Amino acid sequence: MHFKLTEEILKLSDSKYWNSAKLEWNFEYAYYSEELQSCLCGHYPIKNICVIKNKTNKRIAEVGNCCVNKFLGIEDGNKIFASIKRVKEDFTKSMSSEVLEYLNNKKALSNFEYKFYTDIIRKRKLSEKQLEIKKRINQKLIDFTSYESNSSFSKINQVLIWAVDNPQFDKGFILSLKESCHKKGRLSEKQKIALDNIIAKFKINPFS
């Protein structure tokens, strides 16, 4: 499995030497899939998946969290998946401060939500209203790290990558979809159809 992962990462990297190729990759997103998935190494089944992006050629790959940790030394997903598990088991629990920063950096939270959660993250006693707001923000974590959300982000990012070589394409609508997906954790059905129509019209392979 290690050999298979190395082989697949090298195919997507500029460098053909493992020690330098693995340094080309950065953590982009993490998502939890209710549907069983396969890792790039061939291992099945997995549910905790990290999306990594090559900072040189902008290619994207999906790798199981264990492989990302062990072979690429990328550990960003660990606390995200720990927070997902904790919140899913009890919506009154808090995500970690690192995961809160992750959501904020990805613009998944409003300024109010970020400041509110920062203020109450370690408080055990909350008013009923505070608890409802906290649960709503915890739901944003679940939505943002869902398979559905990641699928939309992958398509949007690949269209934007394609647009770099096609400057005549107006990226405004795609950027608005990305912002909407960040804020809501998902696209509406109309937005998903519009995105798929653009991909079909210009014959863009969103997972190449």
pLDDT at 60: 87
| pLDDT band at 207; cut points 50, 70, 90 | very low
Give the mean model confidence (pLDDT) for residues 156-173: 91
Is beta strand 25-37 parallel, antiparallel or unpaired with respect to 60-64?
Answer: unpaired
pTM for the full model? Answer: 0.80
Give the H/E segment covering residue 164: helix 147-164
CA contacts within 13 A on the Cβ side of 100: 19
Question: Helix 147-164 crosses helix 172-184 at what angle (to 10 degrees)?
Answer: 160
CA angle 200/204/207 to nearest 5° reads 115
* Sheet (strand 25-37) strand order: 25-37, 46-54, 60-64
Q: Which residues on neighbouring strands pair with residue 53, listed in sequence order? A: 26, 60
